[in-house]
Structure 1
């Protein structure tokens, strides 16, 4: 292998790593959206649905409608719905504001803002450090919301053990023969 091939491989690996950490940051942005949705589900939808419960089919249909409607919303609109539900503390509110700013920048401007840095090794290294921090913003914010939601979920009877069993069941359903244990 020539020196040029070796240089290209090193650049290629670093570029892949930048893309991987960008993907991780966006993954956690989507996890945060799911955390917001689950919070709304347990603090907004279920309390109303329980009062109006008539039969399992109606329950399933209303759940599907709620999920379909809410999951079409932007993160900003989901955060607004969370505020309307009256749940966020000042700490969560600040974390959500920062997470929304970061998510929007990642989705709409990150690579154009970092175009020059992306062309050199030291710039890509800076991007890696930055992206690790940015995915941490998303992950921390999701954890704050989950810490409020989880006790309510358990109070409604959905334990962590039950969640693990559901996850295993879904893996068996979608990937027969594989295990996530």
Structure 2
């Protein structure tokens, strides 16, 4: 799949609607929230990469301080920082601004706006379909931000292979702690 001139590859499949019950609404809400959070953390990493480019001689303490500062920012503040540092195409700006707006709506107003819909199957199906649409939007935003971010992080020797090794190492560490 391409967004502008960025090939984001294939998205993770979105689960199909099964029962349309309350639990399923909450499950899809959780998946939409998870994907929104992934996009937000991708923005943290993207903004961090640009901070490192501007401050190449950081020690570990300074690095952690900058990362923690960025990590405490909201999606909107992160997007604002990225917009100041990177010239994004109109298409990407629309995607990211829409993601921000929908992420905030999901977090603050989704259940309020759909309160009556929870009372019957048709309403819950409508909610789930909206959540499936949000999952797709947030996956696209996450992938686009990751692709843009890769270009910055490659300056520091962090590429796909490095990330894969790091993920495998963290998984082994997780398994070791779980089995201890």
1:1-181 to structure 2, matched below 5 A, reads: 14-43=21-50, 45-50=51-56, 53=57, 59-176=59-176
Structure 2 CA distance for aligned equivalents of residues 36 and 124 of structure 1: 31
Q: Compute the displacement of 1:74 (Å).
A: 1.1
- Unpaired runs of 5+ in structure 1? 1-9
Deviation (angstroms), 1:154: 2.8
Larger Rg belongs to: 1
Q: Give unpaired runs (5+ residues) of structure 2.
A: 1-17
Alignment coverage as a number of residue pairs: 162
| Distance (whole Å) between structure 2 residues aligned to residue 138 and residue 117 of structure 1 | 23
CA contact (8 A) 1:21 1:131 kept: yes
The whole-number CA distance in structure 2 between the counterparts of 1:111 and 1:96 is 23
Higher relative contact order (CA 8 A, sep 6+): 2
Q: What's the TM-score, normalizing by structure 2?
A: 0.82
| 2-structure distance, mates of 1:64, 1:155 | 19
Q: CA deviation at 1:48?
A: 2.2
Structure 1 runs of 4+ aligned residues shifted over 4 Å read none
Query: Is contact 1:37–1:70 with CA below 8 Å preserved after alignment?
Result: yes
The answer as to whether partners of 2:48 and 2:70 remain within 8 angstroms in 1 is no
User: TM-score of the superposition, structure 1-length normalised?
Assistant: 0.82
